[in-house]
Structure 1
């Protein structure tokens, strides 16, 4: 499996021996609070099943999730970035990511997302990649926008999390617009 490289990051396919490092990050409340599908507390037993699922999905081309490491500390896991729910029939997929809260506001998520978009359009032949984020998480929306994605709409009360309905923003990028100069938007 190929290891991806950016200016400051290594993105590596997940392996079972990463479990303890991944768990140290994924179990944090801040991760669950900003993600749609990660519970808190995160059961340690669930992680092994997730890693197995990620590896199998990678092998069959359904999802391509990578463990994120910084080049200056290449053994320290700092998060996840990947293409999930890849549809070969529709040439589309969803981008997803999380970064250790101790590493927030350093541009790692944007850097990793840009690499995933490159992979989506140049290696996997996708035509459309979308991302979604909680409306109350404007930092995640900024990551998607800085990676080149455009706002497409808001799904009101789409998810029920922690006793409250959550509005979700959807952003996307088409292959035809990949690499095109970004236009300022009025919002």
Structure 2
């Protein structure tokens, strides 16, 4: 890894998942969850209104891959080969050894431990390959499912940032969680 960014986003594998670059052929899978009101309820981006929104997101991701910057991994369900969500480092500060992860998952796969499995693998990669010292994640205070993912991935609750984000027409309290390299199991 270099201070310029991840040279090439690697494929990461777990028992049930393959984390890989997104491809144009993933557009329908991404649109399926990106256009779901329940899925987009607690994320900072707006629900995909049309396949055009999803194609624009794919172009953004492909641009990040080309620039060798932090970018989303598609979460591929090995059993079907379909993309069921994404996970990524939304920012990375090599000088400080810190980064933040963000993620989204299709509602069809909620409650199955999939995002926890993906998060643990990305955290492992961050500590072992990127030489991070701290990895954090945040969620809107009402997003109980995301809080559970962070806790099950080994993160500790640090506190609430009061009215720290304006999205979806209102100011939200934000929960922040983190894990340090020496806390990883």
Query: What TM-score, normalized by structure 1, do the two folds share?
Result: 0.86
- Per-residue deviation, residues 158-177 of structure 1 (Å, max 9, x unmatched): 12233332111000111122
- Alignment partner of 1:44 out of 51, 66, 70: 51
Offset of residue 68 of structure 1: 0.9
Q: In the alignment, is the contact (CA less than 8 A) between 1:6 and 1:112 conserved in 2? A: yes
Q: Which residue of 2 aligns with 1:20?
A: 28
- CA deviations over 1:47-70 (Å, ceiling 9, x no partner): 333222223324444314211122
2:112 to 91, 97, 106: 106
Is the Cα–Cα contact under 8 Å of residues 21 and 73 in structure 2 kept in the other structure? yes
Q: Unpaired runs of 5+ in structure 1? A: 180-187
57 and 92 in structure 1: CA distance in 2 versus 1, 3 angstrom threshold: farther
User: How far apart, in 1, do the equivalents of 2:180 and 2:134 lie?
Assistant: 5
The answer on 1:57 being equivalent to 2:68 is no
CA distance in 2, matches of 1:42, 1:88: 36
Q: Is the 8 A contact 2:27 2:51 kept in 1?
A: no
Residue 170 of structure 2 corresponds to 164
Moved over 4 A (4+): none
Secondary structure of 1:89's match?
A: coil
Deviation per residue, 1:6-64 (Å, 9 max, x gap): 1111111112232222112111111210212x203545333333222223324444314
Q: For 2:176 and 2:183, how far apart are their aligned partners in 1?
A: 17
Instruction: Label 1:54 to 1:87 Cα distance change in 2 as closer, same or farther (>3 A).
Output: farther
2:144 is aligned with 1:138: yes
For residues 27 and 147 of structure 2, the distance between their equivalents in structure 1, rounded to whole angstroms, comes to: 28
Q: Which has the higher contact order (CA 8 A, sep 6+)?
A: 2
Distance 1:9 1:59 in 2: 24
Whether 2:85 is the aligned partner of 1:67: answer no
| TM superposition shift of 1:89 | 2.3
Q: Partners in 2 of 1:114 and 1:44 — Cα distance?
A: 31
Q: 1:138 to 1:157 in 2, by over 3 A?
A: same
C-alpha RMSD of matched pairs (Å): 1.7
Matched with 2:91 is 85
Instruction: Say how many residue pairs are matched.
Output: 177
The equivalent residue for 1:95 is: 101
Deviation at 1:106, TM superposition (A): 0.4
